[in-house]
Structure 1
Amino acid sequence: MSFYDRMEELYGLPAYTFPAREATTTLPAPDTVAWRINGQPDAVVWRSTVGEPLPEEECWDEALDRFCAEVDTTRVRALIVGSWDDPLDMDPSRAIEALLAARDRLPALRSLFLGDIVAEECEISMISQTDVTPLLAGFPALEEFGVRAGESNSMGRVQRLEFPALRHDALRRLTVQSGGLPVDVVRGVGASELPALEHLDLWLGVSEYGGDCAVADLEPILYGDRFPRLRHLALRNSEIQDEIAVALASAPVVARLEVLDLSMGTLGDDGAAALLAGQPLTHLKKLDLHHNFLSEPFRQRICETLGNAGVEVDVDRGEAELDDDGADERYVSVAE
């Protein structure tokens, strides 16, 4: 899986890219779309060397300023932060500061995604990131938050995602997309107090790109009392997918879930056997295992056991094909 296309929706609203400076497009009503705001790499390079951007280019914070001037931001419900000028060499600190400075002008904002960056702009593994929790602290009414993250080492400074533990009373949906999620982020999420959280989606990734968490680091999430309203749990895109499945076979959190998602990773027969032998999963509305390395007998067993009980089951292998010679070459959907 590669990010060739930008997000199509957020908060149930179609994504709409705020036009470039010279455009004469008629804008939609502020509360009918999820607004995507992009910066332009040439602008930040020019400003850092000459002191001002090229006439036709603007940095992300300048684009936000223009957005606030041209749109009734008191009605804006969803924002998508696209490329913040140069995501390979710069983290989004300036974009975050600009959003926080504009928070009084965004009283209706309920959903925010940071980093809708496609492969032609920057590979996910190289997206520079930083501590994103000031956005949650600054927008206490936010209901959805998502971030796409990698790791960059620019000028000797590592720029990776940080998520120290916090409390947020309104957040219902948290998504972290990564080809290698740092263990400190997993621990920070697990230690956070999110009493309204219903949907948690973590892309754990691989160790080669910084995904260094172990099953033990997931225990606060698996135990079940940290997020009392959790109904949708996705621990996916992981090279330890079998180990996660084994842990979930007896994890207390499963009993309250409606959707369990272990897709996009290296799930094989050992993980499937654990799920089938563990606690009942027939209460689920959906079990998502797409992109897997299951043998045909286990795929059939899962479909028969759960599908016949009314659970929607996705065991499509997609691109995750088993080698003809039986070699166990597994890979996650999103890494580099």
Structure 2
Amino acid sequence: MTFADHFETFHGLPVFTLPEPGEEALPAAGDVAWRLDCFEAGDIPFPEVWQSFTDRVPSAEVRALVIGPWWEDEYSELRPVLELILADAGRFPALRALFLADVTGEECEISWLQLTDVTPVLETFPLLEELGVRGGDSQGLGEEPLSLRPVRHEALRVLRFESGGLPGQVVRAVGACELPALERLELWLGVETYGGDATVADLAPILAGGRFPALRHLGLQDSEVQDEIAAAIAAAPIVAQLESLNLSMGILTDAGGEALLRGQPLTHLKRLDLHHHFLGDSMAERIEAAVGSAGTEVDLSERQEPHRWRDEEWRYVAVSE
């Protein structure tokens, strides 16, 4: 799977990419999510893009910010870009949402995106309500990998990590955070080949419930151990408080489907997303009958077939490299 398109909306706002100076009129600062992209800005260094942005847009009114490709030639790490944003945090009192790395597969493979410790974002913006991060640098190109430290944040409502290989350290840190307002959590776990070394045990603090009392949506996606995750979900206390559950994009087989059916009822959910799966037709029908018949919207689209080579079968997640 590739990311073919950039965001059209973010944090409930239309995304507007900052054009080169003089190209077009700018919208009101608080009416859009501002997207900064070195390519769109004329292949100039990010510090110049940032300076142009803060010169032309009333920063005190900006509510949402999306960072696109931050390099103008060769791939580079995110850390200097993030340091620049954090240094100007005082100029953005209304900022409520930040997405790091709205980058398509054609611009850079997700496993090549050179990220950094994103904890300072939460420490510097105490009123932030939404944080999204894409990438992980499983190729070891940057000076430091994607990381997170346990923090308490009173305002964060949405936390999303998109990765073809999410480090177990990040998963454990999420489970150790205190986020009393968190309503939506999505983790793309990925595969070990690209740095996704999180285990089901790492998810235990999240699945146990209690840590995130406001959580209503949980996504544990894109995993090569999706069956094991399904088995853990089947008895996880957190499920009772959810309105929607996303176990899509991974290697979910009939074994995982059977675990879901034999576990706690899922009929209280408004939506169960299992798209991109390896379930057989019979199992898919059983899940639809058991869960969908109660009024839950069940997404069983994008059924995959294993790749076969000689006597072996290969299954794959939706996003890896």
Same fold (TM over 0.5): yes
- Asked whether the 8 Å contact 2:227–2:251 carries over to 1, the reply is yes
- Asked whether the 8 Å contact 1:265–1:291 carries over to 2, the reply is yes
Q: Report the AA paired with residue 154 of structure 2.
A: D
- Asked whether the 8 Å contact 1:180–1:207 carries over to 2, the reply is yes
Per mean C-alpha deviation after superposition, the further-off stretch among 125-134 and 89-98 is: 89-98
CA distance in 1: counterparts of 2:313 and 2:278, whole angstroms: 9
- Asked whether the 8 Å contact 1:40–1:60 carries over to 2, the reply is no
- Asked whether the 8 Å contact 1:83–1:117 carries over to 2, the reply is yes
1:137 to 105, 120, 123: 123
2:147 to 146, 152, 162: 162
1:37 counterpart residue number: 36
Q: Report the AA paired with residue 305 of structure 2.
A: E
Q: State the Cα RMSD in Å.
A: 2.0
Report the Cα offset of residue 31 of structure 1.
Answer: 1.4
Quote the sequence identity (%).
51
2:86 to 100, 108, 120: 100
Task: Name stretches of at least 5 consecutive residues in structure 1 with no aligned partner.
Answer: 44-55
Are 2:59 and 1:66 equivalent residues in the alignment?
no
Report the Cα offset of residue 158 of structure 1.
Answer: 4.8
Report the Cα offset of residue 67 of structure 1.
Answer: 0.7
- Asked whether the 8 Å contact 1:9–1:34 carries over to 2, the reply is yes
Report the Cα offset of residue 159 of structure 1.
Answer: 3.4
Are 2:76 and 1:90 equivalent residues in the alignment?
yes
SS at match of 1:153: coil
Instruction: Within 5 Å, give how 1:258-297 maps onto structure 2.
Output: 258-297=243-282
Note the alpha carbon deviations across 1:216-265, whole angstroms, 9 max, x for none: 01000000111111110000000000000000000000010000100000
CA distance in 1: counterparts of 2:195 and 2:308, whole angstroms: 30
CA distance in 1: counterparts of 2:117 and 2:320, whole angstroms: 21
- Asked whether the 8 Å contact 1:88–1:127 carries over to 2, the reply is no
- Asked whether the 8 Å contact 1:61–1:94 carries over to 2, the reply is no
Task: Name stretches of at least 5 consecutive residues in structure 2 with no aligned partner.
Answer: none
- Asked whether the 8 Å contact 2:44–2:72 carries over to 1, the reply is no
- Asked whether the 8 Å contact 2:308–2:314 carries over to 1, the reply is no
- Asked whether the 8 Å contact 2:16–2:35 carries over to 1, the reply is yes
SS at match of 2:287: helix
CA distance in 2: counterparts of 1:311 and 1:40, whole angstroms: 43
2:112 to 109, 126, 147: 126
Runs of 4+, deviation exceeding 3 Å: 86-89, 322-328
Report the Cα offset of residue 61 of structure 1.
Answer: 2.4
CA distance in 2: counterparts of 1:64 and 1:37, whole angstroms: 8
2:98 counterpart residue number: 112
- Asked whether the 8 Å contact 2:43–2:72 carries over to 1, the reply is no
CA distance in 2: counterparts of 1:322 and 1:120, whole angstroms: 26
Q: When the two structures are aligned, how many residues end up with a matched partner?
A: 319
CA distance in 2: counterparts of 1:117 and 1:324, whole angstroms: 32
SS at match of 1:301: helix
Report the Cα offset of residue 89 of structure 1.
Answer: 4.4
2:140 counterpart residue number: 153
Report the Cα offset of residue 153 of structure 1.
Answer: 2.6
TM-score (structure 2 length as normaliser): 0.95
TM-score (structure 1 length as normaliser): 0.90
Cα distance change of structure 1 residues 323 and 209 upon mapping to structure 2, 3 Å threshold: closer
Note the alpha carbon deviations across 1:15-48, whole angstroms, 9 max, x for none: 1100124x4211111111111001259x9xxxxx
